[in-house]
Amino acid sequence: MRVPVSWLAEYCDPGLEPGDLARRLAMTGTEVERVSGRMGGDTGRFVIGRTLEVGPHPDADRLSVCEVDDGTGTRTIVCGAPNVAAGQTVVVALPGAVMPSGMEIGEAELRGVLSSGMICSEAELGLGDEDDGILVLEDGPEPGTPATEVLSLDEPVLELEVTPNRPDCLSIYGVAREVHAVTGAELADPPWDGWIDPGPEEVSGLASVRIDDPQLCPRFTLRVFTGVEVGESPAWLKDRLVSAGQRPINNVVDVTNYVMLLTGQPLHAFDLDRVPGGELVVRAAIEGEKVETLDGVERELPEGTVVVCDRDGPTAIAGIMGGASSEVSTGTTSVLLEVATWDGPGILKSSRELGLRSEASNRFEKGLHPALASRAQAIASRLLVEVCGCEAVPGMVDEGAGMPEEGSVRLGVGTTARVLGMEIPPATQEESLERLGFAVEAGEAGFSVLVPPDRAFDVTREIDLVEEVARVADLDAALPATLPATSGGGLSREQALRRTAEDAIVAAGFDEAVSWSFTSADSIATLGLDPTGDPRARPVAISNPLSEEQAVMRTTLLTSLVDAASRNLARGTGGVRLFESGRIYLPPAGNDEAGGSFPGDRPAPAFEPLMLGALVCGDLVPGDWRGDGVSADFFSLKGVLEQVAGSIGVSIEVIPGTEPFLHPGKAGRVLVDGQDVGWMGELHPSVGSAFGLGPSVAFEVGLERLVAASPSGQESFVEVPSFPPVERDLAIVIPETVGASEIEAALRKAGGDLLEEVVLFDRYTGEQVGEGLCSLAFSLRFRAPDRTLADQDVDPLWETIVESVESIGGTIRG
Amino acid sequence: MSVERIGKIEEEAAAAIAGAGDTAELEEARVRFLGRKAELTGILRGISDLDPSERGEVGSAANRAREAIEALVAGRAGELEREELGRSLETDRLDVTLPGSPPRPVGHLHPVTRTRRLIEDVLVGLGYRVVEGPEVEHDFYNFTALNHPEGHPARMLQDTFYVEPSEDLDPSCGSGPMDVLLRTHTSPMQVRAMEDSPPPLFVIVPGKTYRRDSDATHSPMFHQVEGLAVGEGLTLADLKGTLLEMLRALFGPDREVRMRPHFFPFTEPSVEFDVSCFRCGGQGELEGGERCGLCKGIGWIELGGAGMVDPNVFGFVSEHGYDPDTVTGFAFGFGVERIAMLRHGMGDLRFLFENDVRMLEQFS
Ligand SMILES: [Zn+2]
């Protein structure tokens, strides 16, 4: 909302600098985006000039070529005004100046002569009606003087950011009342004062309205004006509109806009002769109906849009925009003036469905009280007669459900202090409310407060009055800062463990990515997931995405990680070690626990488990001057995963099992306590190349599942054995198809309680052991908790161990 | 004669031992003064031949001298060993300026995570629990239960991403085109948290939020932290104190907080809160008189929204022990990225999510 300070001052003038006023308003709930000038652009581009020479244009009869002194030098300006002559003091718009009409002045060639700027007329400067010639000033100001020092070009305008609960501040008088409330400066009587309801009288013969559904239209008023002369508005009116950011159109339309800006109540003028019989009907649009709106666009009306119809169908979209068929134009002689009240949510819905917002819809959608209609009629009736030389037909058509009952709200004596934690004297509270337009009746238990129609939708409860009192009370300066008594905050055990795991992977040399939750359907498709069986192939889809790249929610961290990795590689980073700790979004079916469950009565629409994912492309540990580093292969990443799980006391197991996006031979499922928590492996070469990555390894595990398995903080101490161990090595040859973990399990089973530790310390495949076989060397450590073991204690176990190795296809070597 | 002679021998030995420049010279001195042919050895050997009146005096003097010389040899031997070791180590040198090996890469937490943890820690210290909620959310929690009735223009304040209706979503979801959305703030968790536990309640909700907006200061995804305090007798002054404590922990002990009345549907009264600028100390200009670019000369930096929980919100959870007549509460919310960017002087919000390692590796 643009509020020209001079217009505001007509109703309330606190005598403050605009900047100071803006600060006062900002501290009482009305944000002032900025204080700008009426011209919108930089008024410094308008300067006083003197015409030095004026000669005819060589190529155009009606143009003159003027040499103008602008204070810094002489510039050539082509001018079309008949009254231009040498030796005049004029206003020059230099290139870069923006006219009130919005036109930007540049350098342009006019019929072969380069014109650099413009000599302005009164009308062009928005200063008056005179547009027959340039504005010639009295001599005096030197060329180069800023025009603002001579003319009032630069009226300050407050640009307010009005919150949706305050449609009253979308009006000059509403803002004036607010300024009155926060500064105490006197408020002029409302401009609609003195209005006497004219009753139906004569007008009923000329115009009528039928409201099909009073829900949609609480009030509809009509007046008729005859003998209208449509033309340009007087300068003061155009000036007001321009300052407030509205383009002047013609006197009738300008009056409706002016009244809307003043009162906050939109109006609409029809050409009565283009509304057959003056008969209007308010109803909901039926499917397929169309109307051409004032902006010249033919619009198909969504079913249910409220329309104002004449005999031929819709002639305006209620509360949003008038129709072209009944538009007031130069030929108009009779005007039908509609001032109506519409259902706010309905207007909001229609305006969204139509993709059409207007000054009117912006006000109606926030909810206006029917009482405002009379105010607008009062001022508009007077102005139309004044400005358009017409006559008002006595009487007003006034249909609708009648005025809603006036609401009175109680404000208890202690309520304000109870909510704010600060006492505001009752007299101050009362004064604040009254300045804001509330009628206050003081009683024993507090105030009984009558809410004015302007605030009817915003202020309905006691707490709303507390806010009114609080915001006017210079809340910030006066309010003490206290701390409530709390009891025992903290991170949950799970949250703390999650941090530990994240810190562990950072310690392993990984950088954390925080990525978009969005991805593209294409990106997911690249993973080759089974479209019917795999829930990750069925992402949560956004119906109004910003782009295809961000059209669905990610179902795996892998898409985010490859994306970040490939961006880094494209920017010249040699390799990356990235991890992400974040949510993925999956269909909830069958996933009701272990992650992604949230407090609250209604289940989450999607399953959103927290995952921990990592990807390495390049070296895990870079090589250096002493030798090679650790390349990013399956085992080095598995080591990282073991380390991360180990940081919260969890041991993982990896068994064969693949994913479509992984190298089929270098992939595994990650198990914790036998439960599948995720995958790890080398990226499938075709997936890697689709994202521009070289050989990469990655994993993704359910972080909540990992944390759930953690014994951290719940461990029970096991006595540390003090007797010496017996150590023996075991070399076996076994088919490669037997997994190392299977062998280890067999060894442990056979070794029983005395077998304390099994470590694989060598693995060999090659000619010496034969095709399909491998040689594995384990070191075994035996220990008893209660005595020193002797060889004869271990020997029987050793036999069992040898047997168990043989039972799974192995032979003992050496 | 003998006793004086013994004293003399001891003096000579001391000089020879001290003058020994290496272990060989020391050995030579040892043999000379303590060896089988040494004079002192001879004296000791000949004690029994002496007159009984001299035996005691000479014997004890000779023994004392031998012990003294032995001690000197041992002492000097230790010194020489240390010197020689020192000399040999002197030549066994590393170039300590060579890089560590193998070069262990140093990992980094993302600045958003760092900042989120910092905020969590500050509020945990003020007595809050940390809870998290879903990002794909019901309209009910994101709007309706936060006092944004259907058709309320406040719904338009936040440009919302809607989720396509699907059988894959939880059966509790409505099938309308606007029933399920990406939460536009962390506030829906206010209602979930109150459904979950009765008052008094002190929780914060960190997490991702989404709005359909993209430029240097708006990202379609960003992180918020929401705070909610509900109990008996909580006031707007308590909110101010809480914000003040938090902002001082984040931006320095001299900071002040400013509350400007505002409008949010789910709080009443509502405020926006600012922190006094930590670059210019709230003056709006720097020492040289230059306008402060961080706060744009205002002296205050806008941070977030807050207010007293609207009784209508309690109305949605009154069955869970939240009676609007007996409890009051306050809520506040702000952006994690904004705090991170202010603390680290970053410009474009969207760059944070590009995860360029050259950005990530700047923060430790
Ligand atoms: Zn500053």
Instruction: Provide the 8-state DSSP code for B251.
Output: H
| Residue numbers of B between 103 and 122 with CB closer than 8 Å to A | 103-110, 112-113, 117, 120
Tell me the three state secondary structure of residue B221: strand
Distance CA B162, CA B154 (A): 16
Tokens 């547009």 belong to A131
- Do B353 and B215 lie in one domain? The reply is yes
Mutate to test the interface with B, among A422, A540, A610, A619 (most CBs of B within 10 A): A540
Distance CA A181, CA B290 (A): 36
Question: What's the pLDDT tens digit per position in A281-316?
Answer: 999 999 889 999 999 999 999 999 999 999 989 999
At A41, the pLDDT band (50, 70, 90 cuts) reads low
Nearest to A476 among B136, B163, B260 (CB): B260
A486 is a domain residue: no
Mean pLDDT within A253-266: 97
> Are the beta carbons of A160 and A5 closer than 8 angstroms?
no
Whether A151 shows a pLDDT value over 80: the answer reads: no
- Residue A515: its pLDDT value, please? 96
C-alpha to C-alpha distances, A615 to A611, A652, A697, B184, nearest whole angstrom:
13, 18, 6, 30
Q: What is the mean pLDDT of chain A?
A: 91
- Residue B59: its pLDDT value, please? 86
Nearest to A601 among B128, B195, B355 (CB): B195
- Do A238 and A370 lie in one domain? The reply is yes
- Do B173 and B250 lie in one domain? The reply is yes
> Are the beta carbons of A71 and A143 closer than 8 angstroms?
yes
Mean pLDDT within B297-324: 95
- Look at A133-147, A258-272, A284-298, B320-334 and tell me which has the smallest mean pLDDT: A133-147
- Do A806 and A740 lie in one domain? The reply is yes
> Are the beta carbons of A64 and A57 closer than 8 angstroms?
yes
Whether the upstream peptide bond of residue A452 has omega within 30° of 0, thus cis, is no
Q: Give kind and range of the element (H or E) at residue A664.
A: strand A662-672
- Do B132 and B84 lie in one domain? The reply is no
Distance CA A180, CA A189 (A): 12
Give chain A's domain count: 6
One-letter identity of residue A678: G
Subunit contact A483:B241, Cβ cutoff 8 A: yes
| Full residue range of the structural domain in which residue B224 is found | 111-363
DSSP β-bridge partners for residue B257: B275
One-letter identity of residue A94: L
User: Within 13 Å and on the Cβ side, how many CA atoms surround A571?
Assistant: 13
- Residue A780: its pLDDT value, please? 95
- Do B75 and B168 lie in one domain? The reply is no
Structure tokens that stand for A631 in this block:
């390349």
Among all residues of chain A, which has the CA nearest to that of B104? Answer: A621
- Residue A128: its pLDDT value, please? 63
Beta-sheet strands, E only, within chain B: 129-130, 136-138, 180-182, 201-210, 221-231, 257-264, 267-276, 300-309, 328-335
Q: Is B256 on the interface with A (CB under 8 A)?
A: no
Q: Ligand 1 centroid vs A771 CA: distance in angstroms? A: 75
- Do A634 and A518 lie in one domain? The reply is yes
Nearest to B355 among A481, A513, A518 (CB): A513
- Do B180 and B216 lie in one domain? The reply is yes
Q: Give kind and range of the element (H or E) at residue B122.
A: helix B111-125
User: Within 13 Å and on the Cβ side, how many CA atoms surround A682?
Assistant: 17
Bridge-based pairing state of the strands A306-310 and A313-317: antiparallel
- Do A73 and A22 lie in one domain? The reply is no
Mean pLDDT within B174-191: 94
* Chain B: closest CA distance from residue A331 (Å): 39
Distance CA A502, CA A508 (A): 10
- Residue A367: its pLDDT value, please? 92
B263 is a domain residue: yes
Whether A84 shows a pLDDT value over 70: the answer reads: yes
Mutate to test the interface with A, among B95, B104, B109 (most CBs of A within 10 A): B109
- Residue A731: its pLDDT value, please? 93
- Residue A112: its pLDDT value, please? 84
| Full residue range of the structural domain in which residue A539 is found | 493-708
A164 is a domain residue: yes
Question: What's the pLDDT tens digit per position in A625-674?
Answer: 888 888 889 999 999 999 999 999 999 999 999 899 999 999 999 999 99
> Are the beta carbons of A660 and A527 closer than 8 angstroms?
yes
Question: What's the pLDDT tens digit per position in A162-183?
Answer: 999 999 999 999 999 999 999 9
Which of A119-123, A146-150, A589-593 ranks highest by mean pLDDT? A119-123
- Do A107 and A230 lie in one domain? The reply is no
At A572, the pLDDT band (50, 70, 90 cuts) reads confident
User: Which CATH number is B315's domain given?
Assistant: 3.30.930.10
Give chain B's domain count: 2
- Do B155 and B276 lie in one domain? The reply is yes
> Are the beta carbons of B228 and B234 closer than 8 angstroms?
no
Structure tokens that stand for A406 in this block:
């006036």
Structure tokens that stand for A453 in this block:
């129609």
User: Which CATH number is A116's domain given?
Assistant: 2.40.50.140
Question: What's the pLDDT tens digit per position in A401-450?
Answer: 888 887 799 999 899 999 999 999 999 999 999 999 999 999 988 999 99
The number of helix segments (H) and strand segments (E) in chain A equals 20, 41
SS3 letters for A527-572? CCCCCCCCHHHCCCEECCCCCHHHCEECCCHHHHHHHHHHHHHHCC
Among all residues of chain A, which has the CA nearest to that of B182? Answer: A542
**Boundary of a domain, candidates B91, B121, B143:** B91
Cβ contacts (< 8 Å) between A604 and chain B: which residues?
A: 133-134, 136-137, 170
* Chain B: closest CA distance from residue A16 (Å): 18
Bridge-based pairing state of the strands A439-442 and A446-450: antiparallel
Q: Give kind and range of the element (H or E) at residue A374.
A: helix A371-388
Cβ contacts (< 8 Å) between B130 and chain A: which residues?
A: 491-492, 495
Q: Ligand 1 centroid vs B253 CA: distance in angstroms? A: 16
Mean pLDDT within A52-72: 89
Q: Ligand 1 centroid vs B296 CA: distance in angstroms? A: 6
Tokens 């939880």 belong to B170
* Chain A: closest CA distance from residue B294 (Å): 18
- Do A345 and A229 lie in one domain? The reply is yes
A239 is a domain residue: yes
B56 is a domain residue: yes
Picking from B302, B309, B121, B336, the residue whose alpha carbon sits closest to that of residue B207 is B336
Mean pLDDT within A524-530: 93
Subunit contact B130:A544, Cβ cutoff 8 A: no
* Chain A: closest CA distance from residue B86 (Å): 28
- Residue A130: its pLDDT value, please? 66
Beta-sheet strands, E only, within A266-372: 268-271, 279-284, 290-292, 298-300, 306-310, 313-317, 321-322, 335-341
- Residue A530: its pLDDT value, please? 92
Subunit contact B357:A605, Cβ cutoff 8 A: no
At B233, the pLDDT band (50, 70, 90 cuts) reads very high
Phi, psi (degrees; rounded to nearest 5) at A706: -60, -45
- Do B139 and B84 lie in one domain? The reply is no
Distance CA B110, CA A775 (A): 44
Angle between helices B236-251 and B111-125 (to 10 degrees): 130
User: Within 13 Å and on the Cβ side, how many CA atoms surround A612?
Assistant: 25
Q: What is the mean pLDDT of chain B?
A: 91
- Do A581 and A704 lie in one domain? The reply is yes
Whether the upstream peptide bond of residue B200 has omega within 30° of 0, thus cis, is yes
- Residue A814: its pLDDT value, please? 65
- Do B209 and B268 lie in one domain? The reply is yes
At A624, the pLDDT band (50, 70, 90 cuts) reads confident
Instruction: Provide the 8-state DSSP code for A231.
Output: -
**Total number of residues shown for chain B:** 364
Q: Is A619 exposed, middle or buried (0-12, 13-18, 19+ CB in 10 A)?
A: buried
Mutate to test the interface with B, among A483, A616, A640 (most CBs of B within 10 A): A483
> Are the beta carbons of A616 and A577 closer than 8 angstroms?
yes
Tokens 């244009």 belong to A57
- Do B221 and B163 lie in one domain? The reply is yes
Q: What percent of chain A has a predicted confidence (pLDDT) above 70?
A: 97
Whether B86 shows a pLDDT value over 90: the answer reads: no
At A359, the pLDDT band (50, 70, 90 cuts) reads very high
Q: Which carries the bigger pLDDT value, residue B228 or residue B37? A: B228
Q: Ligand 1 centroid vs B277 CA: distance in angstroms? A: 4
User: Which CATH number is A748's domain given?
Assistant: 3.30.70.380
- Do A658 and A587 lie in one domain? The reply is yes
- Do B149 and B245 lie in one domain? The reply is yes
At A596, the pLDDT band (50, 70, 90 cuts) reads low
At B105, the pLDDT band (50, 70, 90 cuts) reads confident
- Do A255 and A363 lie in one domain? The reply is yes
* Chain B: closest CA distance from residue A760 (Å): 24
- Residue B89: its pLDDT value, please? 85
Cα angle vertex B34, ends B28, B39, to 5°? 105
* Chain B: closest CA distance from residue A576 (Å): 8
- Do B302 and B192 lie in one domain? The reply is yes
At B269, the pLDDT band (50, 70, 90 cuts) reads very high
**Boundary of a domain, candidates A442, A477, A512:** A477
Cβ contacts (< 8 Å) between B189 and chain A: which residues?
A: 599-600
Question: What's the pLDDT tens digit per position in A197-224?
Answer: 777 677 888 999 999 988 889 999 999 9
Whether B126 shows a pLDDT value over 70: the answer reads: yes
User: Which residues lie below 8 Å from residue A283, measured CB to CB, with a gap of 6+?
Assistant: A212, A213, A306, A307, A309
A196 is a domain residue: no
One-letter identity of residue A755: L
- Do A497 and A466 lie in one domain? The reply is no
Give chain A's end-to-end CA distance (angstroms, integer): 93
One-letter identity of residue B189: M
Q: What percent of chain A has a predicted confidence (pLDDT) above 90?
A: 68
Q: What is the dihedral of CA A89, A95, A98, A102, to 10 degrees?
A: 110
C-alpha to C-alpha distances, A754 to A239, A779, A788, nearest whole angstrom:
99, 14, 11
- Do B77 and B35 lie in one domain? The reply is yes
B159 is a domain residue: yes
- Residue A592: its pLDDT value, please? 52
Q: Ligand 1 centroid vs B115 CA: distance in angstroms? A: 21
Q: Which carries the bigger pLDDT value, residue B259 or residue A719? A: B259
